[in-house]
């Protein structure tokens, strides 16, 4: 059986929540579910919680998954060292890489074996400089799931406060297929 539910639960404020659990990939049903979800967005009495189970596993992705990573600002990750500026301060590309890594690692254990996520979009502001020796802490939260597309809210802080924040999108891919497709670019003439 690939479909369980739907389960309708009555919540506070006279609202209903619809839970749909998919245990196998069935494109037709997934598309129906997504269209149904969009249809209900405009009805105040209903909300849908996205819950996606991957085939053959009890692992699941759901919004709210959080990640946390830290790193120290060293000479190697300054703007002067990576070429994004001339000062010895934490480089914007280093902050972006930490944001991506935090999102990646936050969901990695929830994916099927042989699957990973790849970054496809990041929109971020780097609002404060951090000197060498600072500790940078990055937090991510999975805020949206749209089939294979995952959207994260990301925030970076140093010892004095927030230094950057933004939104990051990643896609779930099969490692082998993705790598084969990427390497096939070399064989095209």
Q: Domain residues of the chain, as ranges?
A: 3-49, 63-183
- The confidence score (pLDDT) of residue 3 equals 40
- The confidence score (pLDDT) of residue 35 equals 57
Peptide bond into 6 cis (omega under 30): yes
Per-residue confidence in pLDDT tens, the chain, 189 aa: 334 444 444 444 555 545 454 444 444 455 555 555 555 555 554 444 444 443 434 357 899 999 999 999 999 999 999 999 999 999 999 999 999 999 999 999 999 999 999 999 999 999 999 999 999 999 999 999 999 999 999 999 999 999 999 999 999 999 999 999 999 999 876
- The confidence score (pLDDT) of residue 188 equals 79
CA distances from 165 to 5, 69, 116 (A): 38, 14, 24
Beta carbons of 52 and 83 less than 8 angstroms apart = no
Phi and psi for 2 in degrees, rounded to 5?
-105, -5
Largest interatomic CA distance in the chain? 62
3-class DSSP state of 138: strand
- The confidence score (pLDDT) of residue 68 equals 97
Beta carbons of 65 and 105 less than 8 angstroms apart = no
- The confidence score (pLDDT) of residue 56 equals 39
Tokens coding 169 = 């999108």
Tokens coding 34 = 């997504």
- The confidence score (pLDDT) of residue 54 equals 39
Residues with catalytic annotation? Answer: 92, 100, 126
Dihedral-angle region of residue 83 (phi above 0 means left; psi in -120 to 50 means alpha; beta otherwise): left
Q: What is the pTM of this model?
A: 0.70
CATH number for the segment(s) 63-183: 3.10.129.10
């Amino acid at each position: 059986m690939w479909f369980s539910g739907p389960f309708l639960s009555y919540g506070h404020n006279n609202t209903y929540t619809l839970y749909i659990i998919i245990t196998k990939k069935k494109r037709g049903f997934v598309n129906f579910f997504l269209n149904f979800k969009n249809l209900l967005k405009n009805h105040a009495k209903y909300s849908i919680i996205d819950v996606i189970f991957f085939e053959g596993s009890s692992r699941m992705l759901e919004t709210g998954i959080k990640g946390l990573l830290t790193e120290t600002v060293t000479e190697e990750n300054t703007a002067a060292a990576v070429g994004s500026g001339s000062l010895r301060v934490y480089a914007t590309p280093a902050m972006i890489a930490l944001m991506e890594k935090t999102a990646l690692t936050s969901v990695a254990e929830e994916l099927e074996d042989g699957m990973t996520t790849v970054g496809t979009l990041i929109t971020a502001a780097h609002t404060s400089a951090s000197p060498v020796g600072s500790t940078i802490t990055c937090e991510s939260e999975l805020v949206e799931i749209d089939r294979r597309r995952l959207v994260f809210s990301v925030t970076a802080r140093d010892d004095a406060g927030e230094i950057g924040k933004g939104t990051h999108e990643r896609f779930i891919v099969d490692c082998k297929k993705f790598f084969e497709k990427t390497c096939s670019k070399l064989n095209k003439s």
